[in-house]
């Protein structure tokens, strides 16, 4: 199932700062991008914790699962069903070092069937570089309303990039296994490219977050704007930039060639 994805790459982080980063991302994505979903989950009757078929009253509703996987030596991993109390407990526990922390929401289509996740938000450490973290929020393309939601996701990306100073970020519907299209074409992996993100950009997308060191090599924010290649260029407080290739994601394939040409000097 094709997904619309927003991802930021952050690091290197201490165990303490990993918890702070995850809390910011998880809470921000849910409160800013899907507040109505959380309101529904909080207001619906608790879903029984059982392997038996669910009562008919839950069909048409949502089931959300919280997943936690610790870094070696941390508290035990597990999956639990969302409730207001479990979510508060989970968020407090993020001070323990983790490899994966997420919430995924599923539609209940029958007493025994749920959909693939229609919304997921997660903080996922890179196994080969566990002090670096992928922050990801994703929804199915079918669930994403381009006209009404695009600006919400762009604004959240900008706010998060200002707060967290990522080495890279992008928003796209062509991301697989957290690799950019450029990484897939070159047969590279994030653990090879992310630690060198100050030197080379992992790729270009509909929305791309560029760190300060690479913005400077592209002629600064004004130089990027004056190229005329981008729909919008927003400067970050730390000197980086969030660049938007086109108004809507669906228009991106028509402008990708000119975006790649402008960013070519800093691409991997």
3-state helix, strand, coil in the chain (%, to 5): 40, 30, 30
The predicted pLDDT at position 145 comes to 81
CA distance 59 to 160: 35
Q: From 144, 170, 148, 167, select the one nearest 157 (Cα to Cα).
A: 170
pLDDT in the model for residue 88:
93
Q: Strands, E, within the chain: which ranges?
A: 3-10, 62-70, 78-81, 98-110, 113-114, 119-126, 129-140, 168-172, 207-210, 232-235, 241-244
Closest by CA position to 18, among listed 104, 126, 105, 103: 126
Find the largest Cα–Cα distance for the chain.
61
What confidence score (pLDDT) does residue 147 get?
Answer: 84
Q: pLDDT of the chain along its 268 residues, tens only?
A: 688 999 999 999 998 899 999 999 999 999 999 999 999 899 888 777 667 788 888 888 888 999 999 887 555 678 998 999 999 999 998 988 899 999 999 989 888 888 888 899 999 999 999 999 999 999 988 888 888 889 999 999 999 999 999 999 999 887 767 899 999 999 999 999 999 999 999 999 999 999 999 999 999 999 999 999 999 999 999 999 999 999 999 899 999 999 999 999 999 9
> What is the predicted pLDDT for the residue at 61?
84
């Amino acid at each position: 199932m094709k997904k619309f994805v927003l991802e930021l790459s952050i690091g290197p982080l201490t165990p303490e700062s990993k918890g702070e980063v995850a809390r910011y991302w998880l809470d921000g994505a849910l409160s800013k991008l899907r507040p109505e979903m959380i309101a529904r989950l909080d207001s619906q009757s608790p879903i029984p914790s059982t392997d038996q078929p669910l009562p008919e009253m839950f069909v048409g509703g949502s089931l959300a699962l919280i997943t936690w996987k610790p870094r070696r030596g941390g508290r035990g991993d597990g999956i639990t069903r969302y409730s207001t109390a479990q979510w508060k407990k989970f968020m407090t526990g993020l001070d323990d070092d983790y490899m994966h922390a997420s919430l995924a929401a599923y539609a209940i289509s029958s007493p025994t069937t749920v959909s693939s996740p229609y919304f997921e938000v997660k903080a996922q450490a890179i196994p080969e570089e566990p002090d670096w973290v992928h922050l990801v929020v994703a929804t199915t393309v079918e669930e994403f309303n381009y006209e009404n939601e695009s600006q919400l996701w762009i604004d959240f990306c900008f706010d998060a990039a200002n707060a967290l100073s990522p080495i890279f970020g992008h928003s796209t519907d062509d991301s697989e296994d957290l690799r950019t299209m450029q990484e897939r074409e070159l047969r590279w992996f994030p653990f090879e490219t992310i630690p060198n993100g100050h030197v080379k950009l992992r790729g270009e997308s509909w929305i791309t977050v560029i760190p300060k060191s690479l913005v400077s090599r592209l002629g600064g924010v004004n130089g990027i704007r004056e190229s005329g290649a981008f729909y919008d260029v927003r400067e970050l407080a730390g000197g980086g930039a969030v660049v938007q290739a086109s108004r809507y994601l669906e228009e991106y394939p028509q402008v990708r060639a000119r975006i790649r040409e402008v960013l070519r000097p800093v691409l991997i």
